[in-house]
Amino acid sequence: MEEKMPLIGDYFPMIEVQTTHGKMTLPEAFKGKWFILFSHPADFTPVCTTEFVAFQKRYDQFKELNCELIGLSIDQVFSHIKWEEWIKEKLHVTIQFPIIADTGKIANHLGLIHPGKGTNTVRAVFIVDPKGIIRAIMYYPQELGRNMDEFLRMIRGFQLSDKEGVAIPANWPHNELIDDKVIIPPATDVKTAEKRLKDHECYDWWFCYKSLKK
């Protein structure tokens, strides 16, 4: 039976991995935490180096959100370790999160190799919640580095949405229409629709919003 590539809403597949921090089993290793698994094309490449430094610079912010990081590429663990040493020596940044050493098996299972971009992994991102459910998947080409501040925003947005039962607008918390307010799920019956217009700020019954500030 052909393996199905995991999608948003699926449980992250259980996989055993060799990392720079030893062997781990995902998603069990991060049970009760959010985690971001991100692939990079290869060690000792310029864009990937800038990404790892950027992730590390924000690692404490991710941890404050109960979120861990784990990288992956089709490189041996020895290459990962040597690259980490180079980053520490030349750029004075110590990479504190684990990196998965892959032979290609994991990358193929997760859909990280796109034929149009060669045999290396693309810049994929999986955001997984504390229950092991995939909440977001993003793909970037090899030539475009990622924006780590967006991943922080996404984790904050997911956590707020889960806690308050609301939706998060574009560019939150600096949305062009409602600033840092959040969207109330649309009414599903006439009575609730009419009540929404009286109880909340609305553009219409299907677009109501509120502030979460105390």
Catalytic residue numbers read 48
Pull the structure tokens for residue 193.
Answer: 């629709």
Pull the structure tokens for residue 3.
Answer: 């393996």
Helix H or strand E segment including 199 = helix 190-199
Handedness of CA 72, 78, 82, 84 (dihedral sign): positive
Distance, CA of 157 to CA of 188 (rounded, Å): 24
**Omega before 46 within 30 of 0, i.e. cis:** no
Instruction: Tally helices (H) and strands (E) across the chain.
Output: 6, 10
Lay out the sheet containing 207-210: strands in order across: 182-184, 207-210, 201-204
Strands 201-204 and 134-140: unpaired
